[in-house]
Amino acid sequence: MNVSEIKKIIVRERKGTANLDPRCKIFFILGVGIVSFLLGGELSQLILMTGLFFLVSFGEEGKIAFKAMFIYILISYLNVFLKYITIPGISLMVIVLGVIIIKVIPIVLVGKWTLKTTRMDDLMVALQRMKFPQAVIIPFMVMFRYILTLNMEYKMIRNTMKIRGISDSLGKGLRHPILTIEYILVPLLMRCLKVSDELAASGMTRGLAKDGTRFSIYPVRFTIVDTFAIILGCLFFISLFILDKTFIGNFVVWRG
């Protein structure tokens, strides 16, 4: 293997918005987390979701964006139809739960996109350059890695179920909740205990707690594209706040 081939493997440039700096992605997570819960109008919330849909779609994760948009529209329509079904004590709880899910979907979308498109070493270097203390960086990195590892463990459990001929569909999970707990949740909880120990050992091996400047094999720098993305994001969030205060932002989008 010659030098050019090694360089091609090491320097794997991501495409589109996936190539943004980790600090820029953290800004979008925090911004969306604040804006999503402060917006009250249906139209302004839909515009936020549409903007994030394009952000993630142009960041190599179009499949995740389409799934999130589909779930968002589905839950929104279900909330409308549930208003016509009155079950004392239950209807209100279900509607409130639906509203919370609608508010959380944009945050989950950006968070999952960040997890998928950000390398762990790049994120750690970026946080150190922001002068975060080790007491903040280490728990954040462990949490970051923990989520990715649990996702892999969940996929392995599902693959094992398929090999044994056990269906893991959503419909069967709702019809047989006890079996779902037995086949999925119990193994996942057992793996949670193991994963925490394995990550702690891995962190010690990699020198995660070591003081000093860390470096990444990939170039981590805040470019003019990242600056433009943050400015554009700020303008987008401010515009949503202004729109939400007008009658246009409170336009009823989902009708029964």
pLDDT tier at 198, thresholds 50, 70, 90: confident
Paired tokens of 201: 């050992």
Identify the pLDDT of residue 152: 83
Rounded-to-integer distance, Cα 245 and Cα 132, Å: 36
Q: What is the mean pLDDT of residues 173-182?
A: 71
Q: Are 169 and 225 in a shared domain?
A: no
CA-based R_g, the chain, Å: 21
Rounded-to-integer distance, Cα 24 and Cα 42, Å: 27
CB-count exposure of residue 39 (10 Å: 0-12, 13-18, 19+): buried
Domain range for 244: 21-119+218-256
Q: Are 137 and 177 in a shared domain?
A: yes
Q: Are 109 and 233 in a shared domain?
A: yes
The answer to which of 12-26, 63-77, 208-222 has the lowest mean pLDDT is: 208-222
Q: Are 210 and 223 in a shared domain?
A: no
Q: Are 112 and 193 in a shared domain?
A: no
Total structural domains in the chain? 2
Q: Are 113 and 193 in a shared domain?
A: no
Q: Are 141 and 198 in a shared domain?
A: yes
Report the chain's mean pLDDT, rounded to a whole number.
81
pTM > 0.75: yes
The verdict on residue 73 lying in a domain is yes
The verdict on residue 8 lying in a domain is no
- Find out whether 31 and 233 touch, Cβ atoms under 8 Å: yes
Rounded-to-integer distance, Cα 205 and Cα 213, Å: 17
Q: What is the mean pLDDT of residues 145-160?
A: 82
Q: Would the pLDDT of 32 be above 90?
A: yes
The verdict on residue 83 lying in a domain is yes
pLDDT tier at 174, thresholds 50, 70, 90: low
Identify the pLDDT of residue 213: 64
- Per DSSP, 17 falls in state G
